[in-house]
Structure 1
Amino acid sequence: MQQQDIRIAPAFAARILGFAVVALGLAILVLVVVATLADLSAGVTVVVAAVGLFAIGVTGLYLVNRAVALRITDQGYRLRYVRGAGVTRARWGDVEDAVTTYVADAPCVVLRLRDGGSTTIPVEILAIDRERLVAVLQEALERGSGLKRLR
């Protein structure tokens, strides 16, 4: 198996961008108030808004087209952009077992490690079908650590 990159789901990217738009709106509101109180030019606010919108657009294109949430190789895996995932990278030889479960009513795959750590992979944030993700992880586990099946 070669390296397999699984990108962020478009819905998850949209949620991240939604937070960014709200943050930009609040920053512009604060800047307008400060500019009014300090008698600054309105041009400062316009420039900040334009730069912020450009940054959100570039970030959105990156998230949808290039951002890799899960990288799977013959040696191991690396998970990115997930808070509270636990251990975000490990070798397949360090994986004790893998199970499918639900965390906060969301389907997840949990990779439990020999040292007691674990990696929780929320399936909904990935741009891959749940069954396909399980198949890919099962193949990688069989090759990398000799585990026969995902429970």
Structure 2
Amino acid sequence: MASDYRFSQPLIARLLGFFLAGLGVLVFLLTAAVGLFALPVVVLTVGVVLAVVAVFVGGALLTRNGTVVRLDDEGYQVRFVRGAGVKQARWKDVEDVVATTVADERCVVLRLRDGRTTTIPVRALAGSPDAFVKDLQVHLNKGHGYRRLN
């Protein structure tokens, strides 16, 4: 059975905040340019309309149901995480999993048999970090043919 993980809501809110602040600065600069250089008001109007459209498009892109990490019976896939390393691999290629901290963020590192790694920041994912790690362990054990004893 596959498990899909999206970005956490606090991360989405922070990204949307940066995006809105950037658009605000651009509208301010456009307003100053219209005032300083006596540009037609239609320039400012078009800029504001484009900014409003960008808010809706940006919000839709940030809140869509894009899967960041997918764990299934065969392996894993990581998307939208810059610096993750190997984006996908089979469970049989994973040598071990370690917990570490990268730039003050709690991460899980999947070390592959060929020496490459995949780094996943667990707080960036929706849900409990501990639940993600347990789910990852279950998928890894199944992929390696281990059975969990109760």
TM-score w.r.t. length of structure 1: 0.82
SS where residue 68 of structure 1 aligns? coil
- Of the structure 1 ranges 34-43 and 7-16, higher mean CA displacement relative to structure 2 is found in 34-43
Whether the aligned pair in 2 keeps the contact of 1:8 and 1:63 (CA below 8 Å) is no
Shift of 1:33: 3.5
2:92 paired residue number: 93
Shift of 1:76: 2.0
Q: How has the CA–CA distance of structure 1 residues 52 and 77 changed in structure 2, closer, same or farther, with 3 Å as cutoff?
A: farther
Cα distance in 1 between the residues matched to 2:21 and 2:111: 36
- Of the structure 1 ranges 123-132 and 21-30, higher mean CA displacement relative to structure 2 is found in 21-30
Q: How has the CA–CA distance of structure 1 residues 105 and 35 changed in structure 2, closer, same or farther, with 3 Å as cutoff?
A: same
Shift of 1:79: 1.6
Larger Cα-atom Rg: 2
Q: Deviation per CA, 1:46-70, whole angstroms, max 9, x where unpaired?
A: 3322332333234324433412221
Q: How large is the RMSD of aligned CA atoms in angstroms?
A: 2.3
Stretches of structure 2 lacking an aligned partner (at least 5 in a row): none
1:111 paired residue number: 110
Q: How many residues align?
A: 148
1:46 paired residue number: 45
Query: 1:1-150, aligned counterparts within 5 Å?
Result: 1=1, 3-146=2-145
Shift of 1:37: 4.7
Q: Which amino acid aligns with 2:70?
A: R
Q: How has the CA–CA distance of structure 1 residues 140 and 83 changed in structure 2, closer, same or farther, with 3 Å as cutoff?
A: same
- Of the structure 1 ranges 125-134 and 34-43, higher mean CA displacement relative to structure 2 is found in 34-43
Stretches of structure 1 lacking an aligned partner (at least 5 in a row): none
Cα distance in 1 between the residues matched to 2:33 and 2:110: 49
Q: How has the CA–CA distance of structure 1 residues 84 and 72 changed in structure 2, closer, same or farther, with 3 Å as cutoff?
A: same
Cα distance in 2 between the residues matched to 1:67 and 1:14: 15
TM-score w.r.t. length of structure 2: 0.82
Whether the aligned pair in 2 keeps the contact of 1:9 and 1:64 (CA below 8 Å) is no
